[in-house]
Amino acid sequence: MGTKRFSSKQNFTKTNIGKVPKDKPVVYKLKDSKEKNIYTGVAKRSRVADRLKEHLPWGPDPKSGVKSFQLKQMKSIDQAKREEKKIIKRENPKLNK
C-alpha cells in the first residue's frame, strides 16, 4: 500500500506544486478556504506537478476556489484510481462530476 495518510496541507501555488514528490503515482485533494475537499484526482508517477498545474486558474483544466492541496502517494496508478473512487463516493467533492 502507499502512504497511510495524506500529506500536510499546502497552499495551492506554483512554487508548492513544484516541490511535490514525483516518484510514485498520487491521489490528490484540492480544498477551498474552509478546508472542504472540492476536487479529487489522480496523477501518474512523474506527472504529479504537471497535473496539479493544470488546475491553476490559467491552466487547461482550472478549478475555481482552490486554496490548498494534499496528496497521498500510492504504489500503482490502479491503486490511486481505486482510492480516488472511494474518496469521491465518501466526500462527494463539488467539482468532480
pTM: 0.94
For the chain, the helix, strand and coil percentages under 3-state DSSP, each to the nearest 5: 25, 20, 50
Q: Is 53 exposed, middle or buried (0-12, 13-18, 19+ CB in 10 A)?
A: middle
Which SS3 state, helix, strand or coil, does residue 39 take?
A: strand
Q: Which domain holds residue 40?
A: 10-91
Note the pLDDT of residue 1.
46
Instruction: Kindly state whether residue 3 falls inside one of the protein's structural domains.
Output: no
Domain of residue 41, CATH code: 3.40.1440.10
Instruction: Kindly state whether residue 4 falls inside one of the protein's structural domains.
Output: no
- Reading the chain (97 residues) residue by residue, the pLDDT tens digits are 455 799 999 999 999 999 999 999 999 999 999 999 999 999 999 999 999 999 999 999 999 999 999 999 999 999 999 999 999 999 999 999 8
Instruction: Kindly state whether residue 96 falls inside one of the protein's structural domains.
Output: no
